Amino acid sequence: MTLGSHMTSYVFITGGVVSSLGKGITSACLGAILEARGLTISMIKLDPYINVDPGTMSPFQHGEVFVTHDGTETDLDLGHYERFVRTAHGGRNSNFTTGRIYESVIGKERRGDYLGATVQVIPHITDEIKQSIELGAGDADICLVEIGGTVGDIESLPFLEAIRQMGVELGHERVVYVHLTLVPFISTSSEIKTKPTQHSVKELRSIGIQPDILVCRSEQPLPDEQRRKIALFTNVREKAVISAYDADDLYKIPLMMHEQGLDEIVARQLGLELPEADLGEWQAIVEAKQNPQVDVDVAMVGKYMDLKDSYISLVEALQHGGIHTRTRVNIHFIESRDIEENGVDCLQNMDGIVVPGGFGDRGIEGKIETVRFARESGIPYLGICLGMQVAVIEAARNLAGLKGAMSTEFDPGTPHPVVGLITEWQDQTGDTEQRDEDSELGGTMRLGAQPITLADGSLAARSYGSTSIEERHRHRYEVNNNYRKQLTDAGLRFSGLSIDDLVEVVELPGHPWFVASQFHPEFTSNPRDGHPLFKSFIGAARRHREGELPEAAEA
């Protein structure tokens, strides 16, 4: 197979010793500082699990499903990539799993593409992986490829073999291997242990990959003595042993890596003459986070609170809103079932309330009660996806007097299906047009970026500074258009609509700040620019804290 029809270079990031060391953050931060030196960056995540994509996986097991602009359901690390790297536009060719690779190979075998050959891991699976990497790289100057899992796992072997082959085929001047390991501190003996890193590199070398750079995770900066020892036993230059010590701010990490010359090491190996890195934006972010003018307390009421990674993009988007309003955002994670069991007292001292997206009926009444409390108490409310749907349900019950109103997702027999599958509420009006006829569940997911029109003068339009926006979606159920007039008459405002007249945004006129969206604005937020809806929400929470909220809504 011919590789490299253009001159993209590749940086492969692997991990060893233990999982969850931060390969995604390391990859994203390296991409950020290389981009700051004038390079275009593409980023790919290779995941060793057999699921075709993470779309059906439980948030408790895998964390958030990140949705790209083109509607691909991907690993949460792609969220890190987009938050740190402007040129890394993720999409279908930015996340490949073992399941997807095998699905493609088996499809080719069934079609006869292999001309009757015996299909094997080498060369067929590894060739498919290499082709996928080249496809995802596009025309970028450098493609960063993160391999999920840990070196030594049987699941990762085909990916590691594929990137080994690419190193041989493209040559050392176009491929850099970065290996992330753990250097633990044993408190009982007050010793820093380098042996796990030595063994991890030995495992990597046993399959033919010699790392060029080691990124060593540790609690404290790695002393020179340990860096020299690691370099000696792993055949890595001492200056290429990077200390990735615990940081109190995620957005300090690009600065930390640049200070140790990580970007320069990569550039020199690839023979690149680059201008100095312009990290002014990152320095401004760190300075803003370190010098907030006021604190606010924001409650996030959801159902996956035991694993914060389930809402990682939303958590970051709220922090971005804080960066751009000079506000420290203290997020309080509250299980919606706790609201059901213990009431809303835990929300009393909050400056803002967020109800995020989710699937399934567990804790749904707690979310509805949360909306009621936010509406009646005048606390700024931001609902996202399901958070918008429960806002509609609450308004239907308590403003429009529609007793038993509910989504058919949770109660198929509800007397007032104010939220449901499009095919269900179209049937009520005799509309036989089937937008979702290809789904076994009666409706496919609405995924990816879609245009939205905001009502002129609405809080949402003033927050965005525009009446035309584009945001990403991940949902199946929609607000039932048959109830829109009743709900409007009851005081709910439908201030955002899709091009096919589906509800995208609801507001409560007269409330200090109440906006709920069917889309997921958190997927397009980044620390350098923030996001207009989150900046507006945190601004309202700040005014609530300072006692400055007006009686009527303002952006």
Answer yes or no: are the C-beta atoms of 36 and 201 closer than 8 Å.
no
277 domain-assigned: yes
Which tens digit of pLDDT belongs to each residue from 209-264? 999 999 999 998 999 999 999 999 999 999 999 999 999 999 999 999 999 999 99
Specify whether 296 is located in the same domain as 272.
no
Specify whether 378 is located in the same domain as 231.
no
Both tokens of 317, joined, read 């988007």
Angle, helices 532-545 vs 312-323, to 10°: value is 70
Answer yes or no: are the C-beta atoms of 345 and 353 closer than 8 Å.
no
Average pLDDT, the chain: 90
The answer to whether the bond into 184 is cis (omega within 30° of 0) is no
Answer yes or no: are the C-beta atoms of 214 and 196 closer than 8 Å.
no
Specify whether 379 is located in the same domain as 486.
yes
Please give the average per-residue pLDDT across 421-437, as a whole number. 55
Which tens digit of pLDDT belongs to each residue from 75-124? 889 999 999 999 878 899 999 999 999 999 999 999 999 998 999 999 99
Specify whether 364 is located in the same domain as 329.
yes
Answer yes or no: are the C-beta atoms of 515 and 459 closer than 8 Å.
yes
Q: Looking up tokens 């804290």, which residue turns up? A: 545
pLDDT at 432: 37
Both tokens of 465, joined, read 């500074």
Both tokens of 335, joined, read 């299980």
pLDDT at 554: 41
Please give the average per-residue pLDDT across 443-447, as a whole number. 78
552 domain-assigned: no
Distance separating alpha carbons of residues 483 and 429, to the nearest angstrom: 12
Specify whether 224 is located in the same domain as 323.
no
Specify whether 248 is located in the same domain as 320.
no
pLDDT at 424: 78
Percent of the chain beyond pLDDT 90?
Answer: 81
Specify whether 245 is located in the same domain as 308.
no
Report the CATH number at residue 535. Answer: 3.40.50.880
Select from 196, 286, 181, 186 the least CA-distant residue to 244. 181
Specify whether 313 is located in the same domain as 207.
no
Q: How far is CA 26 from the centre of its chain?
A: 15
Q: Looking up tokens 């594929």, which residue turns up? A: 162
228 domain-assigned: yes
Answer yes or no: are the C-beta atoms of 9 and 171 closer than 8 Å.
no
CA distances to 95, 115, 158, 486 from 164, in Å: 19, 27, 10, 63
Report the CATH number at residue 268. Answer: 3.40.50.300
Specify whether 83 is located in the same domain as 173.
yes
Which of 35, 64, 146, 522 is an active site residue?
A: 522
Specify whether 270 is located in the same domain as 303.
no
Specify the higher pLDDT residue, 516 or 357.
Answer: 516
Gap between the terminal Cα atoms of the chain: 56
Last-in-domain residue among 241, 260, 284:
284
407 domain-assigned: yes
1 domain-assigned: no
Whether 439 has a pLDDT exceeding 50, the answer reads no
Specify the pTM. Answer: 0.91
pLDDT at 58: 67
Catalytic annotation present for 172: no
pLDDT at 11: 98
Which tens digit of pLDDT belongs to each residue from 470-499? 999 999 999 999 999 999 999 999 999 999
Which of 29, 143, 216, 385 is an active site residue?
A: 385
**What is the total count of domains within the chain?**
2
Taking every pair of Cα atoms in the chain, the longest distance, rounded to a whole number of angstroms, is: 77
Select from 312, 289, 363, 11 the least CA-distant residue to 174. 11
Q: Looking up tokens 């299906």, which residue turns up? A: 417
Q: How far is CA 128 from the centre of its chain?
A: 26
Lowest mean pLDDT among 189-193, 350-354, 363-367: 189-193
Which tens digit of pLDDT belongs to each residue from 148-179? 999 989 999 999 999 999 999 999 999 999 99
Please give the average per-residue pLDDT across 22-41, as a whole number. 95
DSSP codes joined into one string, 2-46: ---SS--EEEEEEE-SSS-S-HHHHHHHHHHHHHTTT--EEEEEE
2 domain-assigned: no
Specify whether 219 is located in the same domain as 314.
no
Catalytic annotation present for 522: yes
pLDDT at 441: 35
pLDDT at 431: 44
Both tokens of 219, joined, read 């609690």
Which residues, in sequence order, are bridge partners of residue 113? none
Q: Which class for 23: exposed (0-12), middle (13-18), buried (19 or more C-beta within 10 A)?
A: buried
Confidence of residue 60 (pLDDT cuts 50, 70, 90): low
Specify the higher pLDDT residue, 531 or 54.
Answer: 531
Catalytic annotation present for 531: no
Confidence of residue 444 (pLDDT cuts 50, 70, 90): confident
DSSP letter, residue 528: T
Q: Which class for 526: exposed (0-12), middle (13-18), buried (19 or more C-beta within 10 A)?
A: middle
CA distances to 75, 78, 185, 388, 493 from 69, in Å: 14, 11, 41, 21, 28
pLDDT at 430: 45
Which of 124, 179, 258, 520 is an active site residue?
A: 520
Indicate left, alpha or beta for 491 from its phi (over 0: left) and psi (-120 to 50: alpha).
left
Please give the average per-residue pLDDT across 353-367, as a whole number. 88
Pairing of strands 66-67, 73-74: antiparallel
Last-in-domain residue among 236, 254, 284:
284
Specify whether 98 is located in the same domain as 233.
yes
Please give the average per-residue pLDDT across 190-212, as a whole number. 93
DSSP codes joined into one string, 250-309: GGGHHHHHHHTTHHHHHHHHTT---PPP--HHHHHHHHHHHS-SEEEEEEEEES-TT-GG
Distance separating alpha carbons of residues 259 and 268, to the nearest angstrom: 16
Residue 426 phi/psi, 5-degree rounding, is -70, -35
Answer yes or no: are the C-beta atoms of 336 and 363 closer than 8 Å.
yes
Q: How many residues does the chain have?
A: 555
Whether 442 has a pLDDT exceeding 60, the answer reads no
**Three-state DSSP class for 343?**
coil
Answer yes or no: are the C-beta atoms of 83 and 29 closer than 8 Å.
no
Whether 435 has a pLDDT exceeding 50, the answer reads no
Range of the domain at 426: 292-545
Which tens digit of pLDDT belongs to each residue from 329-352? 999 999 999 999 999 999 999 999
CA distances to 49, 300, 366, 387 from 347, in Å: 39, 10, 12, 16
Lowest mean pLDDT among 21-25, 387-391, 479-483: 21-25
Please give the average per-residue pLDDT across 17-41, as a whole number. 93
3 domain-assigned: no
Distance separating alpha carbons of residues 57 and 423, to the nearest angstrom: 26
Distance separating alpha carbons of residues 457 and 485, to the nearest angstrom: 20
DSSP letter, residue 455: P
Select from 304, 13, 307 the least CA-distant residue to 133. 13
Which residues, in sequence order, are bridge partners of residue 146? 13, 45
Answer yes or no: are the C-beta atoms of 230 and 199 closer than 8 Å.
no
553 domain-assigned: no
pLDDT at 6: 56
Last-in-domain residue among 284, 312, 332:
284
Which tens digit of pLDDT belongs to each residue from 276-324? 999 999 999 999 999 999 999 999 998 866 666 788 999 999 999 999 9
DSSP letter, residue 123: I
